[in-house]
Structures are given as C-alpha cells and as structure tokens.
C-alpha cells in the first residue's frame, strides 16, 4: 500500500487550532441549541455534558492515538494498527463506516445548513433584518427554505469552497486564517451573550438550560445527547484519526483531547446562552427545530444597535467555523482515495465533495418540495424520533443516531480490547497507572457498556 506523503501541521498550535476548528462549528451554534430546545433543555444539557467527558474524550483520545501511530488515512491507520496487533485487516471496516457513512453522510447536510448561513451574510449586510419582528423573521426563514433553487446555489457554493480547500492540501493558508478567526468568533459570541443578558430573558434561559429536571430524561433524549456529543467533538467519523496522523510526536495527546473538548463545550453553552434569552423574550418556541437560529439571530441583529455590521460579521465567522469543520469531514475520504487509488488530491476532493453534494440534495428538498415525501413508507417507517421520516430526517437519524454510536462502540472495543495496550500507552507517552489507567478503564468498560445500552434502548 502506498505510504502517505507525510503532511504535518506546522506547529503544535496549528494542530490545536485545526482540531478546535473542526470541533467548533454548526454543531455548537446551530445544532446544540435546537436539540436542547427540542429535548427539554436542562435534561439534555446535563446528559450531553456528561457524555462529552465520560465518553467523548476517551473516544477522541483513542482516535488521535491510533491516527498518529498509524500515520495514514483513517482506514489505513486502523488496518495498520490491527495488523501490528496481530488482528484481522478487516478491522478497517471501522474506518470505512466512519469515513463514508459518517464523514460524507454528515457533510451532505452540513453543507446545506452552512449554505444557509452564507445566504444570511448577504441578508444581514443589506440590512434586510433591520427592525424585523419575530413574525417577519419567521417569514424570511420560510421564504428561504421554500426556494430550492436558492438553497441549491448556496449548498453548491459551500461544498465548492470545501472541495477547493481540501483539494489544495491542509496547510494552504487555512492555519493562518484559523489563528485569528476562531478567537474572533468566540469574542463575538461573548458579545451576543452580553446583549441577551442586557435585553432579553436571560434568567429564564439559564433556568431552562441549567435547572436539572430528571423527569424529562428518556431514551430518546439520551440517544440524541450522545449523537450530539460525538457530532460536536468531531469523533466517530474518521476526522480525528486523520488529524492525528498529521501530528508531530511531541504533542501531548491527552492534553489536546481535554482542551479540544473543553473549548468545544464552552462554545456550545455560550451559544445556548446567546440564543435562548431571545427565544423567550420574543415568544418563540424552544422546540422549533433546525430553523431555530435562522429566526432568533435575525431578530437579535435587527434590534441591536449596529446590528447590520455585527450580524454580517457573525454570519461570516460562523461560515468560517463551518468551513474549518467541513474540510475535516471531507479529509478522511480524500486521504483514503489518495492512499488506496493513488488519486490526485484534487480528484479525490472533487469526488468526495460531489458525493456529499448529491446526497445533500435529498436533505435540501426535504425543506420544500419533498417535505412530505416519506421514502421508507413501503416498509412502514413513517416517523423518526417523532418527526416525519422524509429524506432529511432519515439521513440525520441514520448518521447521528446510528452510524455515530455504532462507530463509537466499535472504536472503544477495538482500542480497549484488541489493540496491544502497550502500543497505545507508548503513543500517548504516558506511564502505567494514572491518567492512562483511567482512560483505559473508560474505553474498555464504561464506553462500550454505556454505548451498548444506549444503542439497545434506541433500537427498542
């Protein structure tokens, strides 16, 4: 098998920024708030944060470790480590499921939403949101999603940007952009929390997000929180294997994992604190689903002084945050195409992006023309997680609630039970006992048991 030309991050900071850039994206600002809203607020938040630390971080660390030791595409690295440990090469299915079912599957709808964010840059810039009421903001949102043509344009534009950057290779300019823009997004988010605190129903939002209400926890909430923990940390879809492969040996893997997860969680919680005060102040319903930020944010930018400028900046930064995530979704497939078929990076990127674009069209049409189309009704599947089983909801459910938990389960079994323990310890550069032992117990027992239980309950 062709060994990969060794691409590496230019520095430790560059890696951390890229990894945090991958983790922080629409998952934090678009998906986390709406899922929290749909799943009872605090109940969801509590389970989610618990999963990030108990399950997400151990899986993240396993991926970075296997990725760096393998030094190849996710599929190649898993296969290499399996062979090294005297196991079957077919373990590489673990990488295949993540790379294709997870990575490209997720990219397909990620880019539809990211395109929507891009479209709103223009709306904010031309002042379309100024003085907008809640009803008008809802109208504008419905207007956008009703037009398949406009949506396709932006979906195409976003996929195009992703394909272009990945086609050029990981270092090309992106590292520099990320260095300034990620912190800028963080600051702007803080500013918005401040705005919500000063003008909207901040107390209600805090109560909604943080007053534990265990009665609202059920198997659906738990499964969704788990999917979201994986989604937000960029694990189980190949990404962190791929990013680990570009890592110099002197970077501490466990510290990186903790840092990535902490930054990611902080951004999600801040996004919740920016959005929900507005939801309550403007009488919107917390469980309005994926369109939540496309209604709340325009209202906020429409009302605040300087909102056109701040709103434009915010949607620009959110687009960039989405790009640093989408490139990491495409990277695993591209790395594998290059490695397996000796394909040029450009072609690989075009093919991967093309597949994601086409599959994404199914989600796109589920916002308008095909909203009521139920493709699996012939086998009796009419709803998923209480929503109509159109293409969009089916794909989201398949990726987030099936592929991701199953892939996470397989990674834990592989790293905890099959890979030689010493390989992992060596690669992490940790002594026996202590942190290594804690990680090993988590990945060997806690993660598989918890995931097995969640998957089982979800299937029931």
Say which residues have a Cβ less than 8 Å from residue 220's Cβ, sequence separation at least 6. Answer: 39, 385, 386, 458
Our finding on whether 19 is near ligand PHE (CB under 6 A) is no
Residue closer to ligand PHE (CB basis): 25 or 286: 25
Residue closer to ligand PHE (CB basis): 27 or 405: 27
Say which residues have a Cβ less than 8 Å from residue 392's Cβ, sequence separation at least 6. Answer: 109, 362, 363, 364, 366, 367
Our finding on whether 108 is near ligand PHE (CB under 6 A) is no
Please say whether the beta carbons of 348 and 334 come within 8 A.
yes
**Binding residue (CB under 6 A) for ligand PHE from 145, 232, 366, 401:** 232
Residue closer to ligand PHE (CB basis): 302 or 360: 360
Helix (H, G, I), strand (E, B) or coil at 369: coil
Our finding on whether 23 is near ligand PHE (CB under 6 A) is yes
Our finding on whether 105 is near ligand PHE (CB under 6 A) is no
Task: For the CB of residue 327, give the shortest distance to ligand PHE in the complex, in Å.
Answer: 9
DSSP letters of 121-190? HHHHHTTTTTT--HHHHHHHHHHHHH-HHHHHHHHHHHHHHHHHHHHH-SSTTHHHHHHHHHHHHHHHHH
Residue closer to ligand PHE (CB basis): 25 or 311: 25
Please say whether the beta carbons of 186 and 267 come within 8 A.
yes
Q: How many helices, marked H, and strands, marked E, lie in the chain?
A: 23, 2
Our finding on whether 411 is near ligand PHE (CB under 6 A) is no
Contacts of ligand PHE in 272-331 (CB under 6 A): 325, 328-329
Our finding on whether 231 is near ligand PHE (CB under 6 A) is yes
Work out whether the CA dihedral 321, 275, 53, 236 comes out positive or negative.
Answer: negative
Task: For the CB of residue 241, give the shortest distance to ligand PHE in the complex, in Å.
Answer: 11
Our finding on whether 239 is near ligand PHE (CB under 6 A) is yes
What's the half-sphere exposure (Cβ side, CA atoms, 13 Å) at 96? 7
Our finding on whether 106 is near ligand PHE (CB under 6 A) is yes
Our finding on whether 159 is near ligand PHE (CB under 6 A) is no
Our finding on whether 26 is near ligand PHE (CB under 6 A) is yes
**Binding residue (CB under 6 A) for ligand PHE from 21, 25, 115, 277:** 25
Q: Which positions touch ligand PHE (CB under 6 A)?
A: 22-23, 25-28, 106, 231-232, 234, 237, 239, 325, 328-329
């Amino acid at each position: 098998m062709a060994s990969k030309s060794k691409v590496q991050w230019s520095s430790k900071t560059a890696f951390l920024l890229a990894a945090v850039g991958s983790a922080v994206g629409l998952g934090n600002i678009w998906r986390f708030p709406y899922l929290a809203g749909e799943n009872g607020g605090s109940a969801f938040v509590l389970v989610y944060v618990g999963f990030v630390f108990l399950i997400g971080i151990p899986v993240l660390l396993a991926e970075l470790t296997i990725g760096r030791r393998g030094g190849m595409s996710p599929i190649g690295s898993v296969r290499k480590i399996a062979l090294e440990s005297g196991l079957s090469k077919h373990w590489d299915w673990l990488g295949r499921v993540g790379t294709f079912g997870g990575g490209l599957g997720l990219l397909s709808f990620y880019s539809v939403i990211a395109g929507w964010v891009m479209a709103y840059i223009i709306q904010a810039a031309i002042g379309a949101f100024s003085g907008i009421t809640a009803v008008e903001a809802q109208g504008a949102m419905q207007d956008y999603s009703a037009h398949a043509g406009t949506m396709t344009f932006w979906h195409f534009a976003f996929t195009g940007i992703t394909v272009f950057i990945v086609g050029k290779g990981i270092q090309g300019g992106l590292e520099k952009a990320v260095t300034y823009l990620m912190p800028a997004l963080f600051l702007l988010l803080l500013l918005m929390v401040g705005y919500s605190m000063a003008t909207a129903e901040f107390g209600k939002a805090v109560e909604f997000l943080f007053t534990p209400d265990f009665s609202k926890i059920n198997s659906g909430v738990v499964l969704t929180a788990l999917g979201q923990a994986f989604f937000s940390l960029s694990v189980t879809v190949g990404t962190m294997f791929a990013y680990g492969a570009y890592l110099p040996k002197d970077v501490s893997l466990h510290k990186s994992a903790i840092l990535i997860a902490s930054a990611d969680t902080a951004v999600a919680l801040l996004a919740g604190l920016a959005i929900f005060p507005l939801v309550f102040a403007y009488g919107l319903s917390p469980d309005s689903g994926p369109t939540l930020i496309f209604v709340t944010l325009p209202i906020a930018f429409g009302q605040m002084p300087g909102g056109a400028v701040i709103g434009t900046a915010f949607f620009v930064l959110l687009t960039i945050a989405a790009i640093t995530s989408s490139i990491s979704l495409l990277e695993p497939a591209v790395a594998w195409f290059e490695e397996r078929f000796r394909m040029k990076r450009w072609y690989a990127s075009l093919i991967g992006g093309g597949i994601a674009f086409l599959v994404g069209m199914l989600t796109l049409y589920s916002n308008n023309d095909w909203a009521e189309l139920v493709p699996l009704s012939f086998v009796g599947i009419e709803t998923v997680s209480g929503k109509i089983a159109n293409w969009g909801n089916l794909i989201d459910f398949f990726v987030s609630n099936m592929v991701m938990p199953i892939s996470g389960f397989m990674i834990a079994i592989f790293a905890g039970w099959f890979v030689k323990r010493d390989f992992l310890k060596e690669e992490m550069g940790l002594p026996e006992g202590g942190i290594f032992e804690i990680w090993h117990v988590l990945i060997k027992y806690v993660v598989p048991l918890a995931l097995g239980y969640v998957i089982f309950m979800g299937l029931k």
